[in-house]
Amino acid sequence: MSLFPDNPGQSNIIELRDIGHSYDGGQNWIIDNCEFLIEDKPDQGQFVVILGMSGCGKSTILRYIAGLQEPSKGTVLVKGKPISEAERVSMVFQQYSSLPWMTVLENVGLALRYQGVKKKERNERAMELIKLVGLDGHENKYAQYPTLSGGQLQRVAIARSLLANPEILLMDEPFGALDIRTRLQMQDLLTSIWHKFQSTIIFVTHDISEAVYLADDIYIMKAQPSRFVEHIHVDLPLVRDRNTKRDANYTRLVHEVEDRMMSVSEMTS
């Protein structure tokens, strides 16, 4: 039985079919028989979290979707088109990815610059996102540490990605290096962005409590040969706040995901 919905008449925004990855010509498969299907949900979007043990290929899946890496076999489609023909999808990494010789304003507007948008327009549009992520007043600072904090640098990356393509946002452990207070603030910022833009967000984390708080669907990957083996729908209110984490259903879901993660970690094939 498939882990993924496949409703006739429902278009898919992300689709990976029979994905495999090998570094020795197919003698050994790091990823094999991997399927990943995310339906398009207009006027709603969705928040999908990928969990799995270290080295199981979570980040690799994101790189396939972003067009930064090609699988050895299989098909990757974004909005029904091959990566080579699809609109580029932005990705936010754990490592700070801003260009340190550019200001916050220049970094956020970078995609529009490459698209040939004139400076006045791109600065106006970039400022809208800078204000949205709470960085107004910092737009003329260089996007580097320690001029900006780690949380502020990730806000720059999120704003840049949203301006490039607000429909799909890929995030690879973006809050992993942040202190707990900043991490909690960033979680709430991200949920507010999701609801505002109704984006499809695919988010990789090792933090189970974070996964349950953010996601409406969680998919778990097993180790090599890696593929998705578990799907958990997060039955929590769509709009969440800090009180959500004190709800008994939230705690139950965290324990359920922990148990299923441990079960997956014991799989060998």
Q: pLDDT digit string (tens) for 148-193?
A: 999 999 999 999 999 988 899 999 999 988 899 999 999 999 999 9
User: With bands split at pLDDT 50, 70 and 90, how would you rate the model's confidence at 269?
Assistant: low
Kindly tell me if the per-residue pLDDT of 1 is higher than 60. Answer: no
Q: What is the pLDDT of residue 7?
A: 60
Q: Which of 174, 223, 205, 172 is nearest to 55 (CA)?
A: 223
Beta strand pairing status for 227-233 and 217-222? antiparallel
Contact 240, 230 (CB under 8 A): no
Q: What is the DSSP letter of 147?
A: T
Name the residue range of residue 134's domain.
Answer: 95-164
**Is 156 contained in some domain?**
yes
Judged by DSSP in three states, 67 sits in coil
Residue 59 has pLDDT above 80, yes or no: yes
Angle at 63 between CA 62 and CA 66, to 5 degrees: 90
Beta strand 200-204 with 168-172: parallel, antiparallel or unpaired? parallel
Does 237 fall in a domain?
no
For residue 171, being part of any structural domain is answered with no
Per-residue pLDDT reduced to its tens digit, 12-57 = 899 999 999 998 888 889 999 999 999 988 888 899 999 999 889 9
Length of the chain: 269
188 within a domain of the structure (yes/no):
no
Q: Is the CB of residue 218 less than 8 Å from the CB of residue 212?
A: yes
- What average pLDDT score do residues 122-128 get? 93
Residue 96 has pLDDT above 80, yes or no: no
* 181 domain-assigned: no
- Total domains present in the chain: 1
Q: Is residue 235 part of a domain?
A: no
Mean pLDDT value across residues 124-145:
93
Q: Helix, strand, coil: what percent of the chain each, to 5? A: 35, 25, 40
CA distance 116 to 245: 45
Residue 6 — pLDDT band, cuts 50, 70, 90? low
Q: Is position 233 within any domain?
A: no
Other Cβ atoms closer than 10 A to 103: 18
pTM: 0.91
Q: Is residue 148 part of a domain?
A: yes
User: What confidence score (pLDDT) does residue 10 get?
Assistant: 62
Band (pLDDT 50/70/90 cuts) for residue 266 is confident
